[in-house]
Amino acid sequence: MQFDFDNKQRKEILEIVFEKLENYYSSTQDFKTNPDLNINKIRESLLTTDLVNGIKPEKAIQHVTNGLETFSVHTPHPKYFGLFNPRSNYAGIIADLITATYNPQLAAWSHAPFAVEVEELIIREFANKFGYDKNADGVFTTGGAEANLTAMLCALNHKYQNFAKDGVFGLDKKPVVFCSAEAHHSIQKAAKVVGIGYNLVKSIPITDELKLDTEILQQKLNELDSSIYAPLMIIGTAGTTGTGTIDELNQLSSICKKNNIWFHVDAAYGGGAILSQDLKPQLTGIEKSDSITFDAHKWMSVPMGTSIFLTSRNDILGKTFRITTEYMPKEADKLTITEPFTHSIQWSRRFIGLKVYLSLLFYGWQGYEQTINHQAKMGQYLKNQLIENGWKIKNNTDLPVVCFAKSEFETDSNFPKEILDKVLAKGKSWLSVYPINGIPTFRACITNYNTTEKEIDELINELNIEFTNYLK
Ligand SMILES: *Cc1c(COP(=O)(O)O)cnc(C)c1O
């Protein structure tokens, strides 16, 4: 048994992989958007291999790529109008391959100085784009959930000097987190993980514009029993998961300043707007925040596992995560650098940032501005075509997330579900149904840089056909 392969074998394997990936990448649109969820078939296919002796690499590659092709929702499909899951750009794919091969260890600066400095450069660039000053800090995370968790830990360590040492047992009052009812549930999860519990996350109702109602927020703050509770953080969402709505960031910032509360902006999806001169004004106020979550694996179309946490408070990541050990390399002790493992939830760290860096090297900020503008334009086109075809738009955002319904069926909760089931059964397009104020509406998002008017016309056609059938 040979654990490594020789040059000829490696080339053969890569060629097989290349052919498979190339076929998928160039003909993604020919796949059924979503699979039959046949659990028995999937489990049976996993029993056809031999984990004791192994199988030929060619067979193994066929096995996993066929499995993924048959049993996945094809998020890279141009008619995937789904959640914020992009088609990976080619730079990001190559970056993952390079990272896996060199496998740099980004826990310690001295082990991977080039990689760590690349990540720091990208952090500085984004901090600057979001309007933070040059003292800003940040770290790459695996996703928005880890970035939001990081934000909550930072808020706790900022407010309570001994939090790192004593944890929740040192708190004299219960810390309260405020966010809108439309905020992402990773915030509740973060409250579970940090040990304050999700009962302390207060969901503020939304306005008719689907934004966090700042008047109710102010009222809830006034009503807080200060003998038991202390406000910890207010989270504004810039691009809600359901409706793509951006909260009133300036107002939230003033409330935070006045009451000395940590202001976090969850811009996991909508943060991409900062890369477009046209869309950027939508995010005004984000520069006054204490911290920001931004998922590069959403609107920047890099593969999964790529998010950024930014903070305008230079000292807080160190305060939150610093730890000293004897066994970590000390070669860089005399340099003015930051040891990444002292700034992050993670210890061993993958070179996550290369996916963003290589993308910028391939396409530049200019390329990004173009693709983001294109997607926003396609969102507008989708909206216009829906209206023209008698659908009613239920949300109001410049981000390409469109929620829609039929006026005459708005109280018929069965209607969207039945139409959706029919569309998904055909597997030509993928979209979802999302409840706005409890009323189910269709939700279609442009998450793919390759989606054009043609795919949008086809989607609307499919919806119109199912609507006509429903009326029969
Ligand atoms: C996607 C999303 C998250 C969670 O991010 P992950 O990358 O999935 O961990 C958090 N907040 C918002 C607003 C999101 O859209």
Please tell me if the CB atom of residue 237 comes closer than 6 angstroms to any atom of ligand 1: yes
Contact 295, 268 (CB under 8 A): yes
The domain in which residue 129 lies consists of 98-359
* Mean pLDDT calculated for residue range 3-17: 94
Please tell me if the CB atom of residue 84 comes closer than 6 angstroms to any atom of ligand 1: yes
pLDDT at 35 over 90: yes
At 326 the pLDDT is 75
210: left (phi over 0), alpha (psi -120 to 50) or beta: left
Query: What does the DSSP 8-state code read for residue 69?
Result: H
Index of the ligand 1 atom closest to the CA of residue 144: 5
Angle between helices 354-388 and 113-129 (to 10 degrees): 40
Contact 302, 296 (CB under 8 A): yes
Q: Compute the mean pLDDT over every residue in the chain, rounded to the nearest whole number.
A: 96
Summarised one tens digit per residue, pLDDT across range 277-309 is 999 999 999 999 999 999 999 999 999 999 999
As given in the structure block, the two tokens for residue 97 are: 């391959």
Contact 304, 272 (CB under 8 A): no
pLDDT at 201 over 70: yes
Closest CA to 131 of 296, 288, 278: 288
At 333 the pLDDT is 76
Index of the ligand 1 atom closest to the CA of residue 240: 13
d(CA 3, CA 214): 61
Angle between helices 214-223 and 249-259 (to 10 degrees): 20
242 domain residue, yes or no: yes
At 251 the pLDDT is 98
Largest CA distance in the chain: 77
Angle between helices 90-102 and 354-388 (to 10 degrees): 150
Q: What is the CA radius of gyration of the chain?
A: 24
Index of the ligand 1 atom closest to the CA of residue 143: 7
451 domain residue, yes or no: no
Closest CA to 459 of 441, 438, 437, 444: 444
Q: What Cα–Cα distance (Å) separates residue 192 from each residue in 220, 276, 408, 449?
A: 22, 36, 42, 36
At 412 the pLDDT is 87
Between the CA of 187 and the centroid of ligand 1 the distance, in Å, is: 10
pLDDT at 324 over 80: no
pLDDT at 127 over 90: yes
At 257 the pLDDT is 98
Bigger pLDDT: 336 vs 42: 42
Contact 96, 251 (CB under 8 A): no
Grade residue 1 by pLDDT with cuts at 50, 70 and 90.
low
Please tell me if the CB atom of residue 350 comes closer than 6 angstroms to any atom of ligand 1: no
468 domain residue, yes or no: no
The residue with tokens 């109008």 is: 81
208 domain residue, yes or no: yes
Reduce the DSSP state of residue 122 to 3 states and report it.
helix
396 domain residue, yes or no: no
Spell out the residues 6+ positions from residue 286 whose beta carbon is closer than 8 angstroms to its own.
130, 131, 238, 249, 265, 267, 271, 274, 292
87 domain residue, yes or no: no
The runs of H, that is alpha helices, within 168-225 are: 186-194, 214-223
**CA-CA-CA-CA torsion for 318, 322, 328, 331, nearest 10 degrees?**
30
Identify which of 180, 186, 286 to mutate to test ligand 1's pocket (most ligand atoms within 8 A of the CB).
186
Contact 206, 180 (CB under 8 A): yes
Summarised one tens digit per residue, pLDDT across range 228-261 is 999 999 999 999 999 999 999 999 999 999 999 9
In this structure, which residue's CA is closest to atom 6 in ligand 1?
144
* Mean pLDDT calculated for residue range 311-316: 97
Closest CA to 431 of 84, 82, 87, 86: 82
Question: Residue 267 carries which side chain, given as an amino acid letter?
Answer: A
d(CA 280, CA 272): 9
Between the CA of 241 and the centroid of ligand 1 the distance, in Å, is: 8
pLDDT at 332 over 80: no
Please tell me if the CB atom of residue 269 comes closer than 6 angstroms to any atom of ligand 1: yes
Please tell me if the CB atom of residue 241 comes closer than 6 angstroms to any atom of ligand 1: yes
Q: φ, ψ for residue 188 (rounded to 5)?
A: -60, -40
459 domain residue, yes or no: no
d(CA 419, CA 465): 10
Reduce the DSSP state of residue 134 to 3 states and report it.
coil
> What does the buried/exposed string (b/e) look like for 266-278 if buried means 16 or more CB atoms within 10 Å of the residue's CB?
bbbbbbbbbbbee
Summarised one tens digit per residue, pLDDT across range 415-463 is 999 999 999 999 999 999 999 988 999 999 999 999 999 999 999 999 9
**At 233, which helix (H) or strand (E)?**
strand 229-237
469 domain residue, yes or no: no
d(CA 202, CA 456): 38
Between the CA of 437 and the centroid of ligand 1 the distance, in Å, is: 21
pLDDT at 108 over 70: yes
pLDDT at 327 over 80: no
Q: Determine what percent of the chain is predicted with pLDDT higher than 70.
A: 100
CATH number, domain containing residue 331: 3.40.640.10
Contact 452, 78 (CB under 8 A): yes
The CA-based angle 276-206-220, given to 5 degrees, is 120
As given in the structure block, the two tokens for residue 386 are: 């829906």
Domain count, the chain: 1
